[in-house]
Structure 1
Amino acid sequence: MLIMGGFDKHILQGSQAAIEQEVRRLAPLVEEGGYIGFCDHRVPPDVPLENYLFFLKTIREVWAHEVNLRPMGCVKKGRLGD
């Protein structure tokens, strides 16, 4: 199963610490595979550009470098049958 979305876009209106916390909260789903995290629908117009750019930088750093990504179909044992 693939899931897309799930990042709380309203967090982008808050602090950079809150943005990083949300990115890290979703990291286990990214690591498990089958999850593509991003904002559902549109980013609200009152989100500062600086925050959005920080969000992009943080997902690249955390999800691309700190998460052990697996190809689809290589789920952890005990998931989706063995």
Structure 2
Amino acid sequence: MDMLNQWIATFSNTWQEADWVFLVLFGLFFFAVWFLPSLLALLFNRRHLGKIALLNVPAGFSVIAWGALIVWAVTGKLGEKLAAKARLKPVS
């Protein structure tokens, strides 16, 4: 327990002594990781970008939901490819 308290105190002191450049860069990095599924959906030009972006805000609190959004953003057109291969009508 003492080791945990020492680590928390060290982290707190380091965070308080950080300069504004570090804080801005950390904030940009944090939001880039939080909204990574939306950025990937934008990059891959997904049809469901709006839905992914909307669900991205609460999904950031859950690693499982955040990971599912990343999978959705990256493999969005996979369903259409599989449906074409099976000669089925794609689900939208």
TM-score, length basis structure 1? 0.29
Higher relative contact order structure (alpha carbons within 8 Å, sequence separation ≥ 6): 1
Q: Which has the larger share of helix?
A: 2
Q: Which has the larger share of strand?
A: 1
TM-score, length basis structure 2? 0.27
Q: Which has the larger radius of gyration?
A: 2
